[in-house]
Amino acid sequence: MMKNFGVFLLFCSLLTIPLGSKASTDAALWKKRMSKILQNSKISKGHMGIFVSADPSGKNPIFALNESLKVMPASVTKLVTSAMVLEQIPPGSKFKTELWSSGKVEGSHLKGDLYLKGGGDPSFVSENMWVLVNTFLRSQIKFIDGDIVVDDSLFDQSRFDSSRQDVRVDRAYDAPTGAMSFNWNSVNVFVRPGKSPGESALVFADPENDYIELRAEVKTSAPGTGNSVVVERDSRTGKQGDVVIVKGRIAVDSKEVTVYKNITQPDLWSGANLKSFLRQRGIETTGKVKTGVTPAEAKLLADVDSKPIELILSDMNKFSNNYIAEMLSKNAAAKISKPGTIAKAMGLSRDYLKSIGVKESDFELKNPSGLTRDNRLTAFGLWKVLNDLKNRFQVQPELTMSLPIAGVDGTLKKRFKNGPGQRQVRAKTGSLDGVVSLAGYLAGPDGSPIPFVMMYNGGDDETNVRSLFDQLCLAVIDEEK
C-alpha cells in the first residue's frame, strides 16, 4: 500500500513539473520582451511606475519598474473607488427616487406641496422620470396646488468638491453632484441649419424645461461652409436657472450639431424637469420649484428604482465618468452616516487600501474620480487593489464587467483594435496633462487574468506613452510576437 502511494506521489510531482516550468518560461519571455520594448523606447523611464504580476503575493512579478514611486494616477483612481463602493453598496443594489406629499387629495387636486426626494441615483435620466411621472399619474391627481420641493438632503450641498481641479469648466465631464440629479446634470443642445442660407438656424435644448434660458444667434450659411457653432453656459444665471448662449453659423448642408453642457444647480434643474414632465402628462402645478426637506408626516405617492449598481459602475469605468464617481462615493459615505460627503468617502477608500495591506506611505487620495493633481499612488499599491478584486468572488464579475474591453468599447474602443490585443485587455485608462495611465487585467495564456498597472507622469508626448503601454501589454498577450 505504501509503495503504491509513493508511486502516486511521484506521478503527481511529474505532472506538476511541466506546468511550473511553462509558467516560469512564459514569465521570463514576457520580462525579456518588455525590457527590450522599454530599452528601445525614448520615453523617460524615471517617470514611470509599472507592476505586472500573476503571483498573488506580488513577490515574483513578471515585470516591475519604479513600482514604489508615488505618481498622479488620474482616472485609474476609479479602480480604488470601485472597490470601496462595492464594499458599501454590493452588487444588485439600487437607488430610489421618490415623490411624497403631506397635502390632502381632494378629487383630482393635491392641496399641498409635492416633494421630489433624491436617493443619490447617478443614472436618473429622462426614462426614469417618465416612469416616476407615469406612476404618479395613476394616483388620478391632475392639479397640484402647491410647490415642487426638491429634497436632496442625502448628500451635502457641495456641488463641486474642493478636491477637484480648481478651474471649473462648463463641459459635461465637470458636472456638479447632488442627491437629486437628472440626466448627468447636463443639458443637450442641438443645432440644425435652416432651409436656406441667411435664415436663423434651429436651436433646441433637450429636455425642454423652464430651468434653461436659451439665447441663440446662429445663422444658416451657404453649402460647403461647414459650421462655427459655439455653445457656452453663461456665468450669469437666468430667471430660473442657467443661461446657455449659442452663436455662430452652420452650413445649409451640415448635419445636426450636438453639444453637452453641465448645469450648476442639480436640485432646481431636477425639479424644473419634473414640472415639465408632469405638464406633458396633463398634470398642472400652481407653485414654484424650490428646495426643502420632506416632512416626516408625508406619504409616498410614487417611486422608481435605478438600474443595479454594477451597471452604473460600468457607466463610470467604461466612459471614465467623473460625475458618477463622486455620486457613488457620496452614496457609500451616506451608508455610514448622513449626509454623504467626499471627505467621508475618501476616508473609506483609505481604510480599504490599508485593509488589503497597502502602506500609508504608498498613497495620498483626495478625490474619487482622479480629476485632480493631488492624488498620489504607487503602481504596486494599485496592483494590490486589482489583485484583491480579482480574488473576491462577491464582486469580481461585476468589477471586470465594468472595465473597457480592448478594441470593443469605452475608452479602449480604438486601442488594440483588430489585432492580437483585441478583447485580451480589460482596463481603466487615465489622462491628465502630463499623466497617462492604464491598469486592469491582461489575458494569460490559460485565459486567467493577470493584474497590471502602468502609470506615467512627465513631459513626453502622451500619444507615444499610450502606444508604449499598448506594446508592453502585447508583449504578454501576443504569442507570436
CB count in 10 Å sphere of residue 66: 18
CA distance 359 to 354: 6
pLDDT, position 3: 44
Instruction: Indicate the SS3 state at residue 16.
Output: helix
Strand blocks (E) in 212-329: 213-221, 230-237, 242-251, 257-262, 284-285, 289-291, 299-305
Element housing 308 (H / E) = none
CA distance 409 to 415: 9
Q: What's the longest Cα–Cα distance across the chain?
A: 99
And the C-alpha cell for 297?
408626516
Residue 121 contacts by C-beta under 8 Å, 6 or more apart in sequence? 95, 96, 97, 128, 181, 306
CA distance 414 to 162: 33
> Are the CB atoms for 425 and 406 separated by under 8 Å?
yes
pLDDT tens across the length of the chain (481 residues): 444 444 333 333 333 333 345 566 788 899 999 999 999 999 999 999 999 999 999 999 999 999 999 999 999 999 999 999 999 999 999 999 999 999 999 999 999 999 999 999 999 999 999 999 999 999 999 999 999 999 999 999 999 988 888 888 999 889 999 999 999 999 999 999 999 999 999 999 999 899 999 999 999 999 999 999 999 998 766 677 999 999 999 999 999 999 999 999 999 999 999 999 999 999 999 999 999 999 999 999 999 999 999 999 999 999 999 999 999 999 999 999 999 999 999 999 999 999 999 999 999 999 999 999 999 999 999 999 999 999 999 999 999 999 999 999 999 999 999 999 999 999 999 999 999 999 999 999 888 999 999 999 999 999 999 999 999 999 999 776 6
Element housing 453 (H / E) = strand 449-457
**Length of the chain (residues):** 481
> Are the CB atoms for 216 and 161 separated by under 8 Å?
no
| Residues forming a β-bridge with 106 | 109
Q: What is the pTM of this model?
A: 0.91
CA distance 227 to 254: 7
And the C-alpha cell for 268?
432646481
> Are the CB atoms for 113 and 275 separated by under 8 Å?
no
Question: What's the pLDDT tens digit per position in 306-362?
Answer: 999 999 999 999 999 999 999 999 999 999 999 999 999 999 999 999 999 999 999
Instruction: Indicate the SS3 state at residue 386.
Output: helix
Find, among 370, 304, 389, the residue nearest to 117 by Cα.
Answer: 304
Looking at residue 254, the DSSP 8-state letter turns out to be P
CA distance 325 to 307: 16
> Are the CB atoms for 322 and 176 separated by under 8 Å?
no
Question: What's the pLDDT tens digit per position in 404-441?
Answer: 999 999 999 999 999 999 999 999 999 999 999 999 99
And the C-alpha cell for 194?
435652416
Q: Which domains does the chain have, with CATH numbers?
A: 28-91+310-477 (3.40.710.10), 96-161+266-308 (3.50.80.20), 172-262 (no CATH)
Find, among 394, 398, 429, the residue nearest to 328 by Cα.
Answer: 398
Q: Give the CA-trace dihedral at 169, 292, 101, 273, to 10 degrees.
A: -20
